[in-house]
Chains A and B, each alone.
Chain A
Amino acid sequence: MRIFARFVLYRLILRPFLSLIIGVKFPKASAFPEGQFILVSNHNSHLDTVSLLCSLPVKRLGDVHPAAAADYFARNKVMATLCEFFLNTVFVRRKGEGGQVLKPLDELDMHVKSGKSLILFPEGTRGLPEQIVDFKCGAAVLLQRNPHVKLVPVFMIGMGKAMPKGGLPIPSECEIRIGTSSIDDSVRSRPVMELTAFIQDEVLRLKEV
């Protein structure tokens, strides 16, 4: 039922809308690696998450989860349920609310340990189009704690022009660039800050292609 709902929503409604009206150029579904991954991308727009989910192979939609800030996306029950049902989000309580037992990272780590793939926006919030601010270190920590999980760097262009923070969407061409990472065990074992810088470089490298 959920798979069918997602297929209708992503393949039959959102993807045609995004590609015909907004002008998003989707990558080939084969650009995503097999197996569990942590996808790391720049973040300029609400279109980012939806476009990424629309470009995933349909069969993978069930096990790829965008991480979303609980204080923003789960500020009320209806919103939280809609996000979970349609976007498959996992929530991160970034401001320590709700008398939480686990730290935000431990919570994400738990999801990764249970076999889920994650979509992370390590800039933490939506910035200006194509300008990256320094990454937060969550993705690096998760990659260190789960050495079998692949890293997928992604750079998105134009999303912030098509739908910036606080703006309505207007048609403007966008592109999603999926990269392959050269990360290996020796890189993973570097200090967290260095690994974070490495991940940021992998994403930024795709800007120049």
Chain B
Amino acid sequence: MNLETLQSYAEYLTTPVAQVMGGIFAVLIVVTAAFYLARAIKGPTKLIKELIERTLSWWMILTGFTVTIFFSKMFATIALAFLAFVAFRELTSRLNLRMSDRRTLLWCYLAIPFQFFAAYIEWYGMFIIFIPVIMFVGLAMRSVAHGDVKGITASLGIIHWSAMLTIFSLSHLAYMLSLPEKAGYAAGNGGMILWLVLITECNDIFQFTWGKLFGKHKILPSVSPNKTVEGFVGGLISTVALGYSLSFLLPIDSTKTMILSILLAFSGFMGDVTISAIKRDLGIKDMGSTIPGHGGIMDRIDSLAFNALICFHLIRYWSYL
């Protein structure tokens, strides 16, 4: 099947997006081959086994991402809503909530389809206030109505914060597909999502790799012993270079793309260490075991949860207001 036939099915698979996706798959093929080669030569050491497991999971993630995001807006919105649902479920299952919080949680689950529906129909006013304002009041109302006051302060904070971190932030990816079309912007709204997710995940990988190779000085030893100054700076530079070179995917000029890349390297790092801090507080290593080699959903999308908010609002401010 050639690219044009594929594009007639896939709404968001513009030529720039298709080229970058092709590039990513090519890189992944090379990396996978390299790891298997390393295993054949050096034997199955612990590090290589772990890297292969992670790489195979990347294949799953990348395939899932390609299939769900670029084909149709409705399909992409439903898939992202389901991802937010699983992430919210995982997070709230770990966070020591009370039995009497079940009804309040049910309200959050019911809020997911509505939030993503608002994103789907481009109802920006509702989309932007539904979780932070309406649910803020609604959840408090539901919790108080239950009448169980012991521990209610912590529960109110945990539930609303979890809803913001998963439902609200991931719905920004869905809303990206709803942004109005811009003249002269060839990559389309799918290009924006691709750029954001690619930059975020690569920033994680860059920080990890630079840290493994040159890491000496720990940034936050009490939160995450693996995060080093060398890893962070190396990650920042590589991320900005990658973001800049892919600026054709965004509706903003290359200087702004550079500023955005720097911000995302910071906020991605913040998302990562925030979830690490919570895991440390709870005394657990991973949030779950959904993705082999990566842990749970929240372990994978921790940086994305922060970056989706920053990226969406900055691009919207620069380019759509």
Report A's interface with B, CB cutoff 8 A: 23, 25, 129, 158, 161, 164, 167, 170-173
Question: Across the interface, do A170 and B93 meet the contact criterion of CB distance under 8 Å?
Answer: no
A25 partner residues in chain B, CB cutoff 8 A: 289
Report B's interface with A, CB cutoff 8 A: 85-86, 89-90, 92-93, 99, 102, 105-106, 109, 288-289
Determine chain A's interface SS by DSSP, over half rule.
loop
B273 to chain A, nearest CB (A): 24
Complexed CA–CA distance, A23 and B289 (Å)? 12
B288 partner residues in chain A, CB cutoff 8 A: 173
Complexed CA–CA distance, A170 and B110 (Å)? 11
Question: Across the interface, do A129 and B109 meet the contact criterion of CB distance under 8 Å?
Answer: no
A-B contacts, 24 of them at CB < 8 A, read A23-B90, A23-B93, A25-B289, A129-B99, A158-B93, A161-B99, A161-B102, A164-B99, A167-B102, A170-B102, A170-B105, A170-B106, A170-B109, A171-B89, A171-B109, A172-B89, A172-B92, A172-B93, A172-B102, A172-B105, A173-B89, A173-B90, A173-B93, A173-B288
Complexed CA–CA distance, A129 and B101 (Å)? 14
Complexed CA–CA distance, A10 and B109 (Å)? 25
Complexed CA–CA distance, A128 and B191 (Å)? 49
Q: Which single residue of chain A is at the shortest CB-CB distance from B106?
A: A170
A-B CB proximity, top 8 nearest: A173-B93, A171-B89, A170-B106, A23-B89, A172-B93, A170-B102, A170-B105, A171-B109
Q: Which single residue of chain A is at the shortest CB-CB distance from B103?
A: A170
Complexed CA–CA distance, A171 and B289 (Å)? 17
Determine chain B's interface SS by DSSP, over half rule.
helix
A167 partner residues in chain B, CB cutoff 8 A: 102
Assuming A161-B99, A161-B102, what are 9 further A-B pairs, CB within 8 angstroms?
A158-B93, A161-B93, A164-B99, A170-B105, A170-B106, A170-B109, A171-B85, A171-B105, A173-B90
Complexed CA–CA distance, A173 and B92 (Å)? 9
A164 partner residues in chain B, CB cutoff 8 A: 99, 102
B86 partner residues in chain A, CB cutoff 8 A: 23
A33 to chain B, nearest CB (A): 24
Complexed CA–CA distance, A47 and B234 (Å)? 49
A129 partner residues in chain B, CB cutoff 8 A: 99
Complexed CA–CA distance, A167 and B92 (Å)? 18
A50 to chain B, nearest CB (A): 19
| B89, B90, B92, B106 pick with most chain A CB within 10 angstroms | B89
A172 partner residues in chain B, CB cutoff 8 A: 89, 92-93, 102, 105
A158 partner residues in chain B, CB cutoff 8 A: 93
Complexed CA–CA distance, A164 and B90 (Å)? 18
Complexed CA–CA distance, A170 and B102 (Å)? 7
B92 partner residues in chain A, CB cutoff 8 A: 172
Complexed CA–CA distance, A4 and B167 (Å)? 39
Q: Which single residue of chain A is at the shortest CB-CB distance from B290?
A: A25
B267 to chain A, nearest CB (A): 27
B90 partner residues in chain A, CB cutoff 8 A: 23, 173
| A23, A161, A164, A171 pick with most chain B CB within 10 angstroms | A171
Complexed CA–CA distance, A172 and B92 (Å)? 8
B282 to chain A, nearest CB (A): 14
Complexed CA–CA distance, A37 and B92 (Å)? 36
Q: Which single residue of chain A is at the shortest CB-CB distance from B90?
A: A173
Q: Which single residue of chain B is at the shortest CB-CB distance from A23?
A: B89
B99 partner residues in chain A, CB cutoff 8 A: 129, 161, 164
B290 to chain A, nearest CB (A): 9
A126 to chain B, nearest CB (A): 13
A171 partner residues in chain B, CB cutoff 8 A: 85, 89, 105, 109
A135 to chain B, nearest CB (A): 24
Q: Which single residue of chain A is at the shortest CB-CB distance from B85?
A: A171
B289 partner residues in chain A, CB cutoff 8 A: 25
Q: Which single residue of chain B is at the shortest CB-CB distance from A25?
A: B289
Complexed CA–CA distance, A158 and B93 (Å)? 8
Complexed CA–CA distance, A25 and B297 (Å)? 14
A47 to chain B, nearest CB (A): 14
Complexed CA–CA distance, A170 and B89 (Å)? 10
B147 to chain A, nearest CB (A): 16
Complexed CA–CA distance, A171 and B84 (Å)? 13
Complexed CA–CA distance, A171 and B167 (Å)? 15
B255 to chain A, nearest CB (A): 44
A170 partner residues in chain B, CB cutoff 8 A: 102, 105-106, 109
